[in-house]
Amino acid sequence: MIETKTSAETNATAPAIAKGTRGDTYFCPRVDIYETDEELIFNSDIPGIRPEDVELHYERGELLLHGRLQARERHGELLYQEYEEGDFYRAFTIHDCIDGSKIEAMCQNGVLTVHFPKVAAAQPVQITVQRQ
């Protein structure tokens, strides 16, 4: 139902690493995607992200996630760093069962959550068997 367009997904245990994309370096935030009968739910942990730092575009079955994570305030000398900073980019191909006009996104406590409602025709329907 969803296809990622970056090679970082080939090994789910590998850390997010910077990728050369569009002539610049971007990191790929990790993403979890869930499916229910009514929708797809996309969660991405991006510590320190603000809603105004995220750009989401959905067009013709493709979701583009792009943004910039501002540098954190430093106190002392940095000895080791695992959290990414700078530009991030991910692209996903999403099945056409999604109602693009009803997609909702929210960012709270560093977690980006996007809800992709399915069109009514794609949702399962319970059929009652009648007696004759």
Q: Per the structure, how many domains does the chain have?
A: 1
Task: Answer yes or no: pTM beyond 0.75.
Answer: no
For residue 24, being part of any structural domain is answered with yes
Torsional sign, CA 124, 128, 129, 132: negative
For residue 129, being part of any structural domain is answered with no
Say what the pLDDT of residue 13 is.
43
User: Cβ contacts of residue 124 below 8 Å, gap of 6+?
Assistant: 37
Per the CB < 8 A criterion, the answer to whether 90 and 112 are in contact is no
120: left (phi over 0), alpha (psi -120 to 50) or beta: alpha
What distances in angstroms separate CA 80 from CA 16, 20, 24, 56, one per listed residue?
A: 16, 23, 24, 31
User: Cβ contacts of residue 33 below 8 Å, gap of 6+?
Assistant: 2, 40, 41, 42, 43
CATH of residue 36: 2.60.40.790
Mean pLDDT of residues grouped by 10 in the chain (132 residues)? 50 45 71 92 89 89 87 84 83 86 91 91 78 84
Provide the residue range defining the domain that includes 54.
2-6+17-73+82-121
For residue 69, being part of any structural domain is answered with yes
